[in-house]
Amino acid sequence: MVLIQNYSLAVFLCFIAMICWGSWQNTQNLIGKEWRFELYYWDYSIGILLFALLMAFTFGSLGSQGRSFIPDVEQADLRYLFSSAVGGFIWNVGTLLLVASISIAGMSVAFPIGGGIGWTLGILINYLGKPEGNPYLLFGGTLIIILAILFSMQSYRKLATFLKKPSFLGILLAFLAGICIAFFYRFVALSLASDFSPADAGKISSYTAVVFFSIGALISTILVNPLFMANPVQGKPVKISQWFSGPVRAHLIGMLGGAIWCLGNSASFMSVGAASPAISYGLSNAAPVVAAFWGIFVWKEFRDAPKGTNLLLTLMFTFYLIGLVLIVWARIG
């Protein structure tokens, strides 16, 4: 398998993860509002699992380092496979809530709030699980990110008030999503082998972990998404027959969204050994910066915003980037 042992390369992969995790939701916008997010999410979950398997049988099976995918599964302790699947289940519930928030509030609001809360709380959880890196830089960057989240929330409040749109539900869904997303990474990190030595027997590679994570996410979709379909946060209930009769283009774009997210997931967990769970999670989950960029500059979600909103958005980006730099420096400083 391909193993990452260099910190600089690990940071690069975390930036790849950041871009992927901040960009996948563009596929939902590309399909259009006529294809409801509850329908989109079936294809999205399938795309995640298919790409996870592709990574496992290519990067996870090539080369002479570590163990290839099938032998890794055969030697795995069931508790570590289960831990990865639980991580996927929890993450998926959070992401369903996040996608629901996007459908109401837009990318530039849902991601900075939901993703930002998941980002900051997740850094704390992963650091407590494995304390590596300079805590002053790591948590200093986290506090600055919290300020960025507050600026984001204020900018949305101004926009919602100006357009006379209800803002509470979009923010509430994003908040609940962030709480769920904060916890998933630690479950997967617990299952990862650090050097494939006898002491790590039973633990699994990042590629195996991502596959079982994706299985857990798909199970979560099967159990939870029908509840969203029957009790939608916006609009009328939808039926599974609508998904089966949907256009091929919508299915393919939805699976593409899942593949993009899973590429980021794979890159992030590949970097855990060379960075640390807290730093890898912290860098990868800078996705709200990317998502806000797409929402503001490409999808023009704030084009009708009142005076003063641009200053808040500028402050949001500035504080996000400062926090990101401090998190990167936490491993070096």
Which residues have CB under 8 Å from 242's CB, separation 6+? 36, 39
* DSSP assignment of 72-99: HHHH--HHHHHHHHHHHHHHHHHHHHHH
**Cβ neighbours around 132 below 10 Å, total:** 16
Angstrom distance (rounded) from CA 19 to CA 47: 18
* CA 78 to chain centroid: 25
pLDDT of the chain along its 333 residues, tens only? 898 888 889 989 999 999 998 899 899 889 987 899 899 999 999 999 999 999 999 999 988 788 999 999 999 999 999 999 999 999 999 989 988 887 777 666 676 778 778 888 888 898 998 898 899 999 998 889 888 878 877 887 777 666 655 467 888 898 999 999 899 999 999 999 987 777 688 999 999 999 999 999 999 999 999 999 999 888 899 999 999 999 999 999 999 999 999 999 999 999 987 877 888 888 887 777 787 788 888 888 788 788 888 899 899 889 988 988 898 888 775
Residue 306, pLDDT score: 86
Share of the chain above pLDDT 90, in %: 50
Q: What are the Cα distances from residue 178, in Å, to 112, 193, 207?
A: 10, 27, 25
Which is nearest to 209 in space by CA: 118, 86, 95?
Answer: 86
pTM assigned to the model: 0.87
Domain residue spans in the chain? 7-329
Are the C-beta atoms of 154 and 130 separated by less than 8 Å? no
Predicted local confidence at residue 116, as pLDDT: 75
Residues 84-117: tens digit of each pLDDT: 999 999 999 998 998 888 777 766 667 677 877 8
8 Å CB contact between 319 and 147 = yes
What is the C-alpha separation between 279 and 123, in angstroms, rounded? Answer: 7
> Closest by alpha carbon to 126, among 36, 192, 41?
192
d(CA 117, CA 177): 8
What pLDDT does residue 19 have?
93
d(CA 164, CA 172): 17
Cβ neighbours of 104 (radius 10 Å): 20
What DSSP letter does each residue of 93-156 carry, written as one string?
HHHHHHHHHHHHH-HHHHIIIIIHHHHHHHHHHHHHHS--S-HHHHHHHHHHHHHHHHHHHHHH
